[in-house]
Structure 1
């Protein structure tokens, strides 16, 4: 549950302050396309926060976060100017992916509750 609020907060930051974030990491003037990409990612995070209700959607979201983190690493390798921004985003996405995987599996069917054993008591 907390992961959804953190993700929603990050979405709001991306939607409202993309230029500030990009200037801090990339320096110099920020192209309009970079601002548009940051806002699109903010929309994705906002939608993901809203739709991550069950274990299946949380796991699919973690998969999306993992793919996004990988693409950030690839982008960092090919773009020296945006390397810091891309690597920072890769770390954030990796954190969201880890939280989603942990949450998605702990809520999955057949997973015993914390403090209980999956073995039957005699």
Structure 2
């Protein structure tokens, strides 16, 4: 994860890593562009049993499939960490709130529409994980 990839700079907390532009790929290679930032400090959960809920401001056609994808991911994390995860109804308090949104969705970090920012999340003290509903 920490290795620069494919000649495209990784932006880690505002700094970029530049690789030579003559980096070539063959037809079998897989290219990924990573633009991400880490949350400053060392935020941690103060408990090991975490609840999660889905709260979106827009209808997402694949949301039922997405729920199973998240459930599978949480099961994998539970196997290799000290955490356990439990889905709760949308109207319950949840440690982690997963949502699909478009453009300005009220958290001060509006999405930019199709192509660009795919998602953002906030530290454990807030526990929000937002995905741009305009992305495929």
Instruction: Compute the TM-score of the two structures, normalised by the length of structure 2.
Output: 0.27
Q: Which has the higher helix share?
A: 1
Q: Which has the higher strand share?
A: 2
Instruction: Compute the TM-score of the two structures, normalised by the length of structure 1.
Output: 0.29
